[in-house]
């Protein structure tokens, strides 16, 4: 029996690619299986291989547990202001329900737009979001290689280039919501 690391929460982003892209007739699906991008699958694999508690930040639904049923395909992103993403108040409510205060460390494998939402929300609880990626690692390809390296058990120093050379750094939000 695996012991879940209870003091660390990993937040991973949803993905544009979903199971309904390849199987339009698929019914409601747990979030862990609904998102199908390579990056999402790597993030999920990392969380599960380290026995971390993890949640998914969906621009449509907010913070969802891996078993949360996603009803059908959607196309919403925090990056696109023309689409109606989940309000910050809803994310704050979800953090309260999740018991965010019990976590000592809150890591995010999300990108900047998603981290901005998280940072503002976590500030309501006096929590800081840890982004393990250097500021200049914005490319999804670099992030994928980094997470894959972590899954394989490599030390951060073995990652190509600057990947995590400087260690975790707090996320700095660009704009308030």
Output the pLDDT for position 112: 86
8 Å CB contact between 37 and 13: no
Q: Is residue 44 part of a domain?
A: yes
Q: Is residue 40 part of a domain?
A: yes
Q: Is residue 67 part of a domain?
A: yes
Beta strand extents in the chain (DSSP E only): 5-13, 29-30, 52-58, 62-64, 69-70, 105-108, 129-131, 169-170
**What CATH number has the domain bearing residue 112?**
3.40.50
Q: Is residue 63 part of a domain?
A: yes
pLDDT digits 0-9 by tens, 40-52: 999 999 999 988 9
Number of domains in the chain: 1
Say if residue 104's pLDDT is above 50: yes
DSSP 8-state class, residue 35: B
Q: Is residue 35 part of a domain?
A: yes
Q: Count Cα neighbours of 176 within 13 Å in the Cβ-side half-sphere.
A: 3
Q: d(Cα 156, Cα 166) in Å, to the nearest integer? A: 9
Domain range enclosing 59 = 5-134
Output the pLDDT for position 171: 44
* Measured CA distances, 146 to 27, 39, 111, 134, 157 (Å): 33, 10, 14, 11, 11
pTM of the model: 0.83
Q: Is residue 65 part of a domain?
A: yes
Say if residue 165's pLDDT is above 80: no
Q: Is residue 152 part of a domain?
A: no
- E strand or H helix that includes residue 111: none
Task: Please tell me the least confidently modeled range out of 22-26, 64-68, 78-82, 159-163.
Answer: 159-163
Output the pLDDT for position 5: 56
Say if residue 163's pLDDT is above 60: no
32 confidence band (pLDDT: 50, 70, 90): very high
Q: Is residue 167 part of a domain?
A: no
């Amino acid at each position: 029996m695996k012991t879940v690391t209870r003091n660390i929460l990993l937040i991973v982003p949803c993905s544009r690619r979903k199971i309904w892209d390849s199987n339009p007739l698929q019914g409601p699906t747990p979030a862990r299986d609904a998102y199908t991008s390579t990056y999402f699958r790597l993030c999920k694999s990392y969380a599960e291989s380290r026995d971390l508690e993890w949640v998914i930040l969906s621009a449509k639904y907010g913070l969802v547990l891996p078993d949360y049923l996603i009803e059908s395909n959607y196309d919403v992103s925090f990056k696109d202001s023309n689409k109606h993403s989940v309000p910050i108040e809803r994310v704050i409510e979800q953090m309260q329900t999740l018991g965010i205060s019990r976590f000592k460390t809150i890591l995010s494998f999300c990108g900047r737009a998603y981290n901005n939402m998280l940072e503002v929300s976590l500030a309501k609880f006096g929590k800081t979001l840890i982004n393990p990626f250097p500021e200049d690692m914005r490319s999804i390809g670099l992030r994928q290689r980094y997470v894959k390296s972590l899954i394989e058990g490599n030390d951060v120093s073995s990652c190509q280039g600057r990947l995590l050379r400087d260690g975790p750094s707090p996320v700095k939000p660009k704009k308030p919501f």
